[in-house]
């Protein structure tokens, strides 16, 4: 039995049974609407010496009954606490727990569940979204989990994403934290509905062949008085030591040296995966679990590291088809190596180095980019050390960091040209893909959680044409095995040109079995009507399958039509070569035809 199946509030006989772990509590009363918040007649019984308390309440028979634990501490102070294991909660600013029977919903996604795996040799193209600001109603209120189903499915399918990644959906008190300052680790946020409604959303996504990843805050929790901090008057979930208690986000850090804390978090993850059919967990701020305060100079966080290994080992064993994804900014080794081989056991790691280097390169005036080609080439030097995922996430479009298009040097028109080339680079570079909502629209305004994504921007042709190009890239990525099969095998990637310091042109090939795709990226304003470069193939030809400069993508139609012949003309150290047109700030993808 998992902790969440025992602790918390559960239907029992004709009522509900309440259990809580509070080893330092002298006395606990159950309070709520059902007893007018007076718990004198509803005292929990201490059922063993380890600190477990229990009470059966026959008069509570249904969902949505509010309650809290009224706890007498060892210092004879009364405090009111929400249930750490509650499955539902009041909508902020209220914060009481609510009863909810989690065992009624029946999924209809058996076909999806039987088919899913960790996507090592499948396309993985993730759409990261904040459920409260992707769409809003006319009165600026949220859509519920159920109401948004059809709209979300239609959009994901149209854009050819394979998965959605929801920013945290566990309960949290402050909207501005986006869910990253959690108060209820078993309580699905009531902002958008109840747990069964979220199950319905996930069920429908699965039935439409769309996977679901959940962003999870494993490191810390809110300091609000009703939550986990000083739960029974003692530092039950956080550290006893002041310097190990506080996080950089003004929250409390979990103390993973305590078995009860490890059990709590593992139980939360098990609940989400098992009861909601989550296909992947993205773990936030893993570097702060690896190192104290995320600072390598402060040394390795041994209890955090031990917890990561235990967590991933148990989850991988219990749920072998669920993806475990680390958002880790450190250079700690073997993050995606299995635990039985001495690693941390994640399946994927965000490649934040690729993201930072790419943006740093694109900020530079093309006149000087030749001195910084390593910003583009360096990622492939370390790529095979981990199983990387390329993220352009919400973190990059908030807090005055600018949107993706606004990070790029150049005029209005040139920004759009280079944005298409950036995304061609992303979708043809090895590694799984993630984009935050709105990236596909080339937005100039940073994300604001209080506003809906401005989809009406597509009324402007230049934004609409970029969106069409983005869709074409997503579709091509999904349908070309050379772009995802064996991508973590170095034999399937090769630079054909990566040291061109004068023209800012990069060329590389991706291969799988007999298939070969060549990507050409031009990060300079010059166009080339006759550009020759060396290739590996001795015979056959190539065909252009995507060009960012087509009319339909707001380009000048500087494209390659028909077959591109392979010629026995030496170039760039190769005996054979081909000659192509390359548009300014453009990108093209060629496919080999035997």
Residues 6+ apart with CB under 8 A from 274: 319
Are the C-beta atoms of 88 and 187 separated by less than 8 Å? yes
Pairing relation of β-strands 52-57 and 15-21?
antiparallel
Smallest CA-to-CA distance from 542 within 558, 510, 518, 575 is with 518
**Known catalytic residue at 284:** yes
Are the C-beta atoms of 360 and 371 separated by less than 8 Å? no
Dihedral sign for Cα 445, 448, 450, 455, please. Answer: positive
Are the C-beta atoms of 127 and 165 separated by less than 8 Å? yes
Q: Which of 232, 284, 347, 357 is catalytic?
A: 284
Residue 143 DSSP class? P
- The Cα–Cα gap between 169 and 198 comes to 9
Residue 229 DSSP class? T
Residue 169, SS3? coil
Strands, sheet with 52-57, edge to edge from the N-terminal-most edge strand? 8-12, 15-21, 52-57, 45-46
- The Cα–Cα gap between 440 and 470 comes to 6
Residue 528, SS3? strand
Smallest CA-to-CA distance from 173 within 282, 83, 272, 96 is with 96
Angle at 398 between CA 394 and CA 401, to 5 degrees: 115
- The Cα–Cα gap between 416 and 457 comes to 14
Are the C-beta atoms of 558 and 586 separated by less than 8 Å? yes
Are the C-beta atoms of 390 and 354 separated by less than 8 Å? yes
Cβ neighbours, 10 Å, residue 79: 17
Q: Which of 83, 109, 203, 327 is catalytic?
A: 327
Structure tokens at 119: 């996507």
- The Cα–Cα gap between 220 and 239 comes to 11
Angle at 283 between CA 359 and CA 315, to 5 degrees: 140
**Known catalytic residue at 328:** no
- The Cα–Cα gap between 525 and 366 comes to 8
Which residue spans within 226-385 are E strands per DSSP?
252-253, 280-283, 323-326, 348-350
Environment class of 361 (CB within 10 Å of its CB; exposed 0-12, middle 13-18, buried 19+):
buried
Cβ neighbours, 10 Å, residue 72: 17
DSSP output for 361-388? HHTS-HHHHGGGTHHHHTHHHHGGGS-E
Query: Alpha helix locations (H) across 187-230?
Result: 195-207
- Alpha carbon 421 to chain centroid, angstroms: 24
Dihedral sign for Cα 440, 445, 447, 449, please. Answer: negative
**Residues making up the chain, counted from first to last:** 594
Q: Which residues are catalytic?
A: 284, 327
């Amino acid at each position: 039995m998992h902790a969440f199946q025992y602790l918390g509030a559960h239907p029992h006989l004709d009522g509900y049974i309440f259990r809580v772990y509070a080893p330092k509590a002298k006395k606990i009363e159950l309070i709520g609407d059902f007893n007018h918040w007076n718990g004198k007649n509803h005292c929990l019984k201490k059922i063993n010496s380890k600190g477990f308390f229990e009470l059966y309440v026959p008069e509570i028979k249904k969902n949505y009954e509010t309650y809290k634990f009224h706890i007498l501490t060892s210092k004879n102070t009364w405090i009111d606490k929400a249930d750490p294991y509650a499955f539902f909660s009041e909508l902020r600013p209220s914060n009481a727990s609510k009863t909810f029977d989690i065992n009624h919903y029946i999924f209809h996604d058996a076909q999806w569940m039987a088919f899913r795996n960790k996507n090592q040799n499948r396309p993985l193209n993730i759409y990261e979204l904040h459920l409260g600001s992707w769409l809003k109603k006319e009165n600026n209120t949220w859509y519920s989990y159920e109401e948004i189903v059809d709209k979300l499915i239609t959009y994901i399918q149209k854009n050819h994403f394979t998965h959605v990644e929801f920013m945290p959906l566990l309960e949290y008190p402050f909207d501005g934290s986006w869910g990253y300052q959690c108060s209820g680790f078993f309580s699905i946020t009531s902002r958008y509905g109840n747990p069964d409604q979220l199950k319905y959303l996930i069920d429908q996504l699965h039935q439409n062949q769309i996977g679901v990843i959940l962003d999870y805050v494993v490191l810390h929790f809110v300091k609000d008085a009703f939550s986990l901090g000083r739960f029974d008057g003692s530092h039950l979930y956080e550290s006893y030591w002041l310097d190990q208690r506080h996080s950089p986000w003004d929250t409390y850090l979990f103390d993973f040296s305590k078995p009860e804390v490890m059990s709590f978090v593992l139980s939360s993850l098990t609940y989400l995966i098992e009861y909601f059919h989550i296909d992947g967990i993205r773990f936030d701020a893993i570097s702060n679990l690896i190192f104290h305060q995320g600072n390598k100079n402060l040394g390795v966080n041994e209890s955090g590291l031990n917890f990561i290994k235990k967590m991933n080992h148990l989850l991988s064993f219990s749920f072998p088809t669920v993806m475990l994804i680390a958002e880790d900014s450190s250079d700690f080794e073997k993050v995606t190596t299995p635990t039985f081989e001495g690693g941390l056991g994640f399946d994927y790691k965000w490649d934040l180095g690729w993201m930072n280097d790419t943006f740093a390169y694109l900020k530079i005036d093309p006149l000087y980019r030749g001195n910084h080609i390593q910003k583009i080439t360096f990622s492939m030097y370390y790529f095979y050390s981990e199983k990387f995922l390329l993220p352009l996430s919400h973190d990059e479009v908030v807090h005055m960091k600018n949107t993706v298009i606004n990070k790029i040097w150049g005029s209005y028109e040139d920004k759009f040209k280079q944005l298409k080339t950036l995304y061609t680079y992303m979708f043809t570079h090895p590694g799984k893909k993630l984009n935050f909502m709105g990236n596909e629209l080339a937005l100039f305004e940073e994300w604001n959680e209080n506003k809906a994504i401005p989809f009406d921007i597509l009324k402007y042709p230049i934004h609409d044409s970029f969106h069409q190009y983005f869709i074409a890239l997503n579709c091509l990525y999904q349908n070309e095995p050379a772009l995802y099969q064996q991508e973590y095998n170095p034999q399937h990637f090769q630079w054909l040109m990566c040291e061109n310091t004068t023209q800012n042109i990069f060329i590389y090939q991706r291969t799988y079995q007999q298939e070969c795709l060549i990507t050409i990226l031009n990060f300079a304003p010059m166009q080339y009507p006759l550009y020759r470069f060396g290739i590996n193939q001795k015979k056959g030809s190539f065909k252009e399958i995507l060009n960012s400069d087509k009319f339909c993508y707001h380009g000048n139609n500087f494209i390659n039509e028909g077959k591109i012949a392979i010629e026995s003309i030496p170039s760039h150290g190769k005996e054979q070569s081909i000659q192509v047109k390359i548009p300014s700030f453009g990108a093209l993808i060629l496919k080999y035809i035997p």
